[in-house]
Amino acid sequence: MFDNSEKSFDSSLPGLGNFSTYLDKDPLNPKTEPGLQQLPSLNAPVDNAGNTRATARAVGTLTGAQSFSDWVGRADTNDYYSFNVGTQSNFGLSLTGLSADADVQLLNSSGGVISGSYNGNNSSESITSQLSAGTYYVRVYPYKGNTNYSLSLNATAVAPVDNAGNTTATARAVGTLTGAQSFSDWVGSVDICDLKHKISFWLTLCFTKPMSILCFK
């Protein structure tokens, strides 16, 4: 698209703004005249996520749901997010609000792919995975075209197996205690009842009724 009259013309490209091109008399040999060149003005949106793992947007410790809005396209081919989980957790993400085809991957601390979602067109993407404590990355990238997106991340701690009941009615039955017995279990934010009564057991005493003894923490 040029004429051979040495006149300039304006062209507007998506994301590049307006610029002027100048032509030699030979229409097959276009050139820009010195002093008349105008550099393209990039109209790309602000990029809030880093383009590499080293410059990833730091989410921090993920203990619930967090959401982010950004974009990917020809001028921004990767968006990285870093996060960590402090304990075994059920993790989920969703990538929505797409106007073009974009995909998403969950990466380990070394950049290896744990899981990915690669739906076609502008379909939403999602990933679920159970993660051990550690650092992880999410990579969002375009398959074709430019698109804004909304990214939602969520992590919920997985409770270890609880071997002791949380009430006196569901207490772990030790039975008749005639010597030493040992038990291993855990307490925490998702098993707070064991903080009050860890173990309930029955002692059989001669000439008396059975009595219930609670060991308080």
d(Cα 172, Cα 214) in Å, to the nearest integer? 11
Say whether pLDDT at 128 is over 50.
yes
Cβ neighbours of residue 95 closer than 8 Å, sequence gap 6 or more = 102, 104, 117, 124, 125, 126, 140, 149, 150, 151
Section 91-104 average pLDDT:
98
Which residue would you say has higher pLDDT here, 161 or 87?
Answer: 87
Say whether pLDDT at 56 is over 80.
yes
Section 210-217 average pLDDT:
46
Confidence (pLDDT) at 125: 99
pTM, entire model: 0.62
Average pLDDT, the chain: 77
User: Model confidence over 155-211: pLDDT tens digits?
Assistant: 999 977 777 777 877 888 888 888 888 877 777 655 655 544 444 444 434 444 444
Which residue would you say has higher pLDDT here, 136 or 213?
Answer: 136
**Which tokens in the block code for residue 55?**
């410059």
Say whether pLDDT at 212 is over 80.
no
**Which tokens in the block code for residue 7?**
């006149």
| CATH code for residues 57-157 | 2.60.120.380
Going from N- to C-terminal start, the domains of the chain cover: 1-43, 57-157, 159-217
**Which tokens in the block code for residue 43?**
């109209």
